[in-house]
Structure 1
């Protein structure tokens, strides 16, 4: 493959990653290879098909606005952080594992902000879990030693908030949840 052919393929890969990110999707090797074929940039009968891994490495090196990470399934996924943030990419990646999705989001929020999360948040986009999935995940987390740091507190109005005991102490998490739930007017 010539340098010019390599440059054309890298540009097509970059465009495909940008387009997928713009549509709120992560993209892997198989989808990118299909995209190159759809753009007639690969001939199915080519004996010397391009090394996709090398092309993707070159694409990432020449397009600083793109990123890759290893998904929970072990696949390398690509996205454009300017169109699809790293946080959102992580959420999309973990959607196939509701337990991990909830646990990691709770941990991240407890550590970074720090704040507990209302349980009902996981029914909304981008999580889109139904109440049965949430209930099953909470039961699994309660029985899993790896997820034992995920805990909950209930506010005076009955709202349930999740937090990570690795990052928030229970009294502080309860205070933050109460304040978030009832606001300053009811909690001076």
Structure 2
């Protein structure tokens, strides 16, 4: 068992490492935290005490930090972030960066479920997505033929603006009303 002062230093260092990752923004795995501790000369206790795996010991310490949130990644790995610097929704988006169809579906579903609102297709051309309009169109075309994305639907307003929504959370008529209302308001600020 570590001395209380060393445990406090270790916990502080872990928080700093996770918060630094959140400032970039990115999620951080336990192996990356361990590397950060090694760079600071604070990993010795973890590498010399039971259990034999320092990552297991580190994961137990991180789990006891109430300021830190964890995310079960698509890869099966547990990733960490500071919810004060990186929201849980944004963390899920970051986890899906390498799977653009899942990235779009997650954003569309969360807007339909949580707000509830459809999203203009142009949303995906802005940060954090930064996709070209041709890429968004190609991704949506590919999603249209995949069963896991059959709830993703489009609506075109009277102004020609295309909105996306999830039929799991928003009925088409309500999504159309909200999209038209949003398009009208954006034309008349």
**TM-score scaled by length of structure 1:** 0.87
CA distance, structure 2, for counterparts of residue 146 and residue 113 of structure 1: 22
Partners in 1 of 2:186 and 2:9 — Cα distance?
57
* Corresponding residue number in structure 2 for 1:13: 14
Distance verdict in 2 for CA 1:30–1:59, change over 3 Å: closer
Change (3 A) 1:152 1:25: same
**Gapped runs of 5+ residues in structure 1?**
none
Shift of 1:57: 2.0
Task: State how many pairs are aligned.
Answer: 183
* C-alpha deviation, 1:60, in angstroms: 2.8
- Per the alignment, residue 71 of structure 1 pairs with 73
Q: In structure 1, what is the Cα distance between the partners aligned to 2:152 and 2:38? A: 45
Q: Gapped runs of 5+ residues in structure 2? A: none
Q: 1:57 aligns with which of 55, 60, 65?
A: 60
> Equivalent residue for 2:183?
181
What RMSD in Å do the two structures reach over aligned CA positions? 2.1
CA contact (8 A) 1:66 1:81 kept: yes
- SS of alignment partner, residue 58 of structure 1: helix
Q: Residues 74 and 95 of structure 2 are in contact (CA less than 8 Å); yes or no, is this contact kept in structure 1?
A: yes
Task: Give 1:54 deviation, angstroms.
Answer: 2.4
Post-superposition shift, 1:119? 0.4
The CA deviation at 1:130 is: 2.1
State the 4+ residue runs in structure 1 displaced beyond 6 angstroms: none
1:132 deviates by 3.3
- Asked if 2 retains the 8 angstrom alpha-carbon contact of 1:11 and 1:59, the reply is no
Q: TM-score, normalised by structure 2?
A: 0.87
Question: Are 2:31 and 2:55, in contact at CA under 8 Å, matched by a contact in 1?
Answer: no
Alignment-derived partner of residue 38 in structure 1: 39
Q: Hey, what's the Cα distance between the residues in 1 that align with 2:3 and 2:99?
A: 41
